[in-house]
Amino acid sequence: MCDLNFFQSQIVHLLSNIFSLKTDISFKRINSLAIPALIAGIAEPFLSITDTAIVGNIEKNGIESLAAVGIVGAFISMLIWVFGQIRSAISSLISQYLGANKLEEIKTLPAQAIAMVVCGGIIVLMITYPFSKQIFGFYNASGDILDYCIEYYKIRIFGFPFSLFVFAVFGLFRGLQNTFYPMIIALCGASLNIGLDLAFVYGIDGLIPAMNIKGAAYASVISQIFMALLSIFFLRRKTSFSLKITRPFNKEISTLLGMVINLFIRTIALNLALYFATSHATNYGKEYIAAYTIGINLWLLGAFIIDGYSSAGNVLAGKLLGSKDYRGMLQLGKRLITYGLCTGLVLTVVGFLFYEPIGTVFIKDELVQQEFQNVFWIILIMQPLCAITFIFDAMFKGMGEMGFLRNILLFSTLVVFIPSLYVFDVFDCKLKGVWFTFLLWIIARGTPLIVKFRRKFLPLVEKG
């Protein structure tokens, strides 16, 4: 009887292994996550590009206004990326617990994390608002450009806490393997922002006066508030998670804070690179910073398009790690490289096909267009390399390897980016030097990720 029971238990165990639900990493599943994430990801740089195109075509002081939007945009992007890393930390933990079928154990975590990051956003607003002149003077802005920076920032910064809230909610949805609702929220916010940009910047006869650069700032703030409200709606309707803050702190709060601290340091290194690039471009003259503003927004657009597959890698890698499916992890990496490279190559080809017309969309000034066209080809050839780097970066985030990602960014920024930028500056390469530095930076970031991924999972698959 004992032998029969043992035999029956082994049969049940065998059948459960055969019919257990594996994490789906098929082309259809990856794209069901990637395409909505891609569309949602495009929304943020698309908002910046909309501001760039609309502000750049203001009749009075268009170049100065465009330069101010670029400088302020770089600083606010830095703030969002530094504090918005809560999205990756939440997504990583939720996806791993989902893979381990233990989601109930972290039900209280998201509300606690969201409250912390929103409070952090309010503190940043209060600290930076009175020192906006000093902040943008640090970016080498002066004269009319500095005045426009201050005017634009003192409005737009009020949307910052709302942006952090939205980022955190997006992380929750990603952890649940759902990129659809973030896409809906992002599309609605982007659509509203475009409409308000046109109405506020240029004005509507007899109804709304033209507010120029102030109008772009107001449009962004209203759109961010709207997206936060939509996030609350979908969170309450489509998930079992609550925004109610409860005590005690969840057991994973220390793990989450550790991830956030590592990502915080990592993102400071990332934005240090962006600061030095923006500062150098500003120092070269207003035509250069205007051309750099167009280039950096297009580069970010490409990055966020590729981020669709990065997001799929992020959420699936966490779940695969939680379920200890190492063979699936290797297959996921191979497939995402293929899809990402194809996407990067398409971006490169499209960019070269429309090389000259693209610059004219943003500004009509011939000197700015000339400087932009002198460097746009560097941005285009970077796209396939960016695809590989960003995909593996996201997968390591999903696996919770935040300390390793921190070290990679510190090395690539302090040892590769900053020294290279100054070397190119010595040879008077100007914007070409800035973008060649970005190219070296991407290579320095991506290579160690590929090496560690293979070294980590190939032995685990061979053992299994």
pLDDT of residue 264: 84
Percentage of residues in the chain having pLDDT higher than 90: 47
Question: Given a cut of 60, is residue 443 above it in pLDDT?
Answer: yes
- The chain-wide mean pLDDT, for the chain, equals 87
* Mean of pLDDT values over 116-124: 93
**pLDDT tens digit sequence for 121-140:** 999 999 999 999 999 998 88
Per-residue pLDDT, 386: 94
**Rounded-to-integer distance, Cα 175 and Cα 114, Å:** 14
User: Is a pLDDT exceeding 70 seen at residue 440?
Assistant: yes
Instruction: Give the residue-averaged pLDDT of 77-85.
Output: 77
Given a contact cutoff of 8 angstroms between Cβ atoms, the answer to whether 388 and 447 are in contact is no
Between 50-64, 306-320, 397-411, 440-454, the lowest mean confidence (pLDDT) is in 50-64
Whether 281 shows a pLDDT value over 80: the answer reads yes
- What is the structure's pLDDT at 47? 66
pTM above 0.85, yes or no: no
pLDDT in tens, 231-264: 999 999 998 888 888 888 899 899 988 988 998 8
- Answer with the residue of higher pLDDT: 180 or 42: 180
| Confidence check: pLDDT of 404 > 70 | yes
Mean pLDDT comparison of 269-283, 286-300, 371-385, highest-scoring range: 371-385
Residue 289 CA: distances (Å) to CA of 68, 124, 285: 9, 26, 6
> Quick one: pLDDT band at residue 14, thresholds 50, 70, 90?
very low
pLDDT beyond 50 at 13 = no
Residue 15's pLDDT band, with cuts at 50, 70 and 90, is very low
Predicted pLDDT at 206? 81
Residues 92, 399: contact at Cβ < 8 Å? yes
Contacts of residue 189, defined as CB under 8 A and 6 or more positions apart, other chains included, come to 43, 47, 223, 224, 226, 227, 230
Which pLDDT band, with edges at 50, 70 and 90, does 9 fall under?
Answer: very low
User: What average pLDDT score do residues 95-117 get?
Assistant: 89
- Mean pLDDT value across residues 187-203: 90
- 123 near 83, Cβ under 8 Å? no
Per-residue pLDDT at 22: 60
pLDDT of residue 155: 95
Q: What confidence tier does 18 reach under pLDDT thresholds 50, 70, 90?
A: very low
| Whether pLDDT at 5 is above 70 | no
β-partners of residue 208 are 204
- Using only the alpha carbons of the chain, give its radius of gyration: 23
Whole-angstrom Cα distance, residue 338 to residue 347?
14
**What does the pLDDT read at residue 64?**
86
Residue 291, pLDDT score: 92
CB burial of residue 8 (10 Å; 0-12, 13-18, 19+): exposed
Predicted confidence band of residue 4 (pLDDT cuts 50, 70, 90): very low
DSSP character string of 210-277: --THHHHHHHHHHHHHHHHHHHHHHHHHH-S------SS--TTHHHHHHHHHHHHHHHHHHHHHHHHH
Q: What six digits make up the tokens of 16? A: 């459960």
Crossing angle of the two packed helices 366-398 and 402-411, in degrees rounded to 10? 150
Share of the chain above pLDDT 70, in %: 93
> Is 90 exceeded by the pLDDT of residue 412?
yes
| pLDDT, tens digit, 9 for 90 and up, residues 375-403 | 999 999 999 999 999 999 989 998 989 99
Position 435: which residue type?
W
pLDDT tens, 20-77?
346 677 878 888 888 888 777 666 666 666 777 788 778 777 788 888 888 888 788 7
